[in-house]
Copies of this chain bind each other. A is one copy, B any other.
Amino acid sequence: MAKDKKLVEAITSMDTDFAQWYTDVVKKAELIDYTSVKGCMVIKPSGYAIWENIQKELDARFKATGVENVYLPMFIPESLLQKEKDHVEGFAPEVAWVTHGGLEPLQERMCVRPTSETLFCDFYAKEIQSYRDLPKVYNQWCSVVRWEKTTRPFLRSREFLWQEGHTAHATAREAEERTIQMLNVYADFCEEVLAIPVIRGQKTDKEKFAGAEATYTIESLMHDGKALQSGTSHNFGDGFAKAFEIQYTDKDNKLQYVHQTSWGMTTRMIGAIIMVHGDDSGLVLPPRIAPVQVMVIPIAQHKEGVLDKACAIRQELLEAGFRVKVDDSDKSPGWKFSEQEMKGIPVRIEIGPKDIEAGQAVIVRRDNREKTIVSLEELSGKLSEILDTMQKEMLERARAHRDAHTYDAADYGEFVKILEEKPGFVRAMWCRDQACEDKIKEDTTATARCMPFRQERISDVCVCCGKPAKAMVYWGKAY
């Protein structure tokens, strides 16, 4: 078991240095690798397979709400990016510029899309003529580029993968409904599939998307008590429609502007999975998103019949619909256990000569190491139960952790003290004046994560300035 320890010792403990632990897990679980391109990474097979499962799940949920997929160019001419004033101010400082095509300089430089509102608007302006052309509910899966100064794998990189939905509607009401609908798709996906509980709410004006009337967000809490913005949905009203002249003729033959939304979720969710569920042995993947759900590990595999039995179990479980592999390498069982744990594979099945004799196998859960001895006849049914329970308990555990790290503050001194001493969310009242947001950020580095849909009245006045309170806010330090 010497090698076993070596693998675990290869990662820093969470409590010693959470940031280093994160980087270690990302590397040792073989999710990413760094590249010669500063701030950009390789997503390796184990990481990309998680993204494929995220795509599959989200895409099916999108399509069930009538979303259609499209693909727009990756380049945006500078003049197009500049059409909506707030939008260009938000993004121009962090885009990558293409200035030459082949050997010749371009007449107009283009940026690599940081997001595609302007391209969709340009497209919709041509596509939409009549109320019959509405709504448009389009989405694309692609990569985008934002020239960030400091980067971290999955959480903040110069290029990342995402989906971006862009819709156009006849009425303001329909646009608002779609904005909320997609936020709920994200929230349900996070909770049901990633086992990550989220707070649903609205961003403050300071934190909203460049060019949006309203930005809605789901916020989750990482193991270290820092918040992660996990998905956003924006209502643009008719602001972009006016800048890009996207008009339709209504049933009364009058010209009207469309109302638009956009919404996105990114590969940063892989970072969220790591930081919500991981432990000192590595990654822990929720069964519903795990590319491999079950690793069958033969014990004393050189003995006759062991490997055959392991393969027979794999075959049976594959046919029952599980994602399963056998580790038949020449490593020791202890080493294989460590690798399975480092990679976050939800359960392992141990099968050795004594198990075979007794007609049983041992199922070990990754999250709590619980062992269950199961008769081989009941393996598939029992495995299904264990994975369901694990999925449910991972969500419950994450929710309990979040709730235990969510504090209320009515007094500014207390508010600042909590933010200094206790990592987590602080719920406090706010006057809706940006000056207070700015002061809080300066005093604590915390930001308004969201004004939750479920408002509660913690006190009557703003925690910062003492003026009448207008909203309860989740405050926190964020990735």
Seen from chain A, the residues whose Cβ lies within 8 Å of a Cβ on chain B are 33, 35-37, 40-45, 48-49, 51-52, 68-77, 80, 93-103, 110, 112, 119, 122-123, 126-127, 138, 142-143, 145, 147, 158-159, 161
CA distance A101 to B99 in the complex (A): 11
Q: Which single residue of chain B is at the shortest CB-CB distance from A109?
A: B100
Shortest distance from the beta carbon of A134 to any chain B beta carbon, whole Å: 15
Q: Are B98 and A70 in contact (CB under 8 A)?
A: no
B33, B69, B112: the one within 8 Å of A45 (CB)? B69
Q: Using known A-B contacts A40-B75, A48-B70, determine if residue A102 contacts B112 with beta carbons closer than 8 Å.
A: no
> If the complex has contacts A69-B49, A161-B71, are A33 and B96 also in contact, measured as CB distance less than 8 A?
no
Whether A36 contacts B80 by the Cβ 8 Å rule is: yes
> By the criterion CB–CB under 8 Å, are B33 and A48 in contact?
no
Contact between chains at B36 and A48 (CB < 8 Å): no
Known contacts A33-B123, A45-B69; A143/B40 CB under 8 A: no
A93 touching B97 by the CB < 8 A rule? no
In Å, the complex CA distance between A33 and B124 comes to 11
A72 to B43: give the CA distance in the assembly, Å: 7
* Contact among B36, B37, B72, B143 for A42, CB-based, below 8 A: B72
5 closest residue pairs by CB, A with B = A40-B73, A45-B68, A101-B147, A97-B100, A43-B71
> A78 to chain B: closest CB distance in Å?
11
Among B51, B77, B102, the residue within 8 A (CB) of A36 is: B77
Establish whether residues A37 and B102, one from each chain, have CB atoms under 8 Å apart when the complex forms: no
State how many angstroms separate the Cβ of A138 from the closest Cβ of chain B. 7
A40 partner residues in chain B, CB cutoff 8 A = 73-75
For the complex, what is the distance from the CA of A36 to the CA of B101, rounded to whole Å? Answer: 16
The distance in angstroms between the C-alpha atoms of A80 and B43, with both chains bound, is 19
A–B complex contacts, Cβ < 8 Å, 12 sampled: A33-B123, A35-B72, A37-B75, A42-B70, A42-B71, A44-B70, A45-B68, A71-B143, A93-B103, A101-B147, A112-B112, A142-B143
* CA gap between A54 and B164 in the complex, in Å: 22
Alpha-carbon separation in the docked complex, A158 to B68 (Å): 24
Contact B99 A35 (CB under 8 A): no
Chain B residues, Cβ within 8 Å of A112 = 74, 98, 112
In whole angstroms, how far apart are the Cα atoms of A45 and B70 in the complex? 5
Nearest CB on B from A328, distance (A)? 14
Which residue in chain B gives the minimum CB-CB distance to A138? B45
Instruction: Evaluate contact between A159 and B69: CB separation under 8 angstroms.
Output: no
B residues within 8 A CB of A77? Answer: 36-37
Residue A52 contacts which of B42, B69, B93 (CB distance < 8 angstroms)? B69
Least CB separation from A125: chain B residue: B36
Could you tell me the distance in whole angstroms from the C-beta of A383 to the nearest C-beta in chain B? 23
Q: With A70-B44, A71-B161 in contact, is A33–B102 under 8 Å at CB?
A: no
The closest CB in chain B to the CB of A149 belongs to B102
- Chain B residues positioned under 8 Å from A71 (CB to CB): 42-43, 48, 51, 143, 161
Q: Are B100 and A96 in contact (CB under 8 A)?
A: yes
CA separation between A95 and B145, bound complex, in Å?
18
With a cutoff of 8 Å between Cβ atoms, the chain B residues found around residue A93 in the complex are 102-103
CA separation between A97 and B96, bound complex, in Å?
A: 10
Q: Is the CB of A33 within 8 A of B126?
A: yes
Contact among B42, B100, B102, B159 with A99 in the assembled complex (CB-CB below 8 Å): B100
**A400 vs B97: C-alpha distance in the bound complex, in angstroms?**
50
> From residue A154, how far is it (CB to closest CB) to chain B in Å?
12
Q: Give the distance in Å from the alpha carbon of A145 to the alpha carbon of B44 in the complex.
A: 23
Chain B residue nearest to A142 (CB atoms) is: B143
Complex Cα distance, B95 from A100, in Å, reads 8
Inter-subunit contact B35/A73 (CB<8 Å)? yes
Q: Are A102 and B145 in contact (CB under 8 A)?
A: no
- The CA of A72 and the CA of B74, in the complex, are separated in Å by 16
A38 CB to closest chain B CB (Å) equals 9
Pair B73/A37 contact, Cβ less than 8 Å: yes
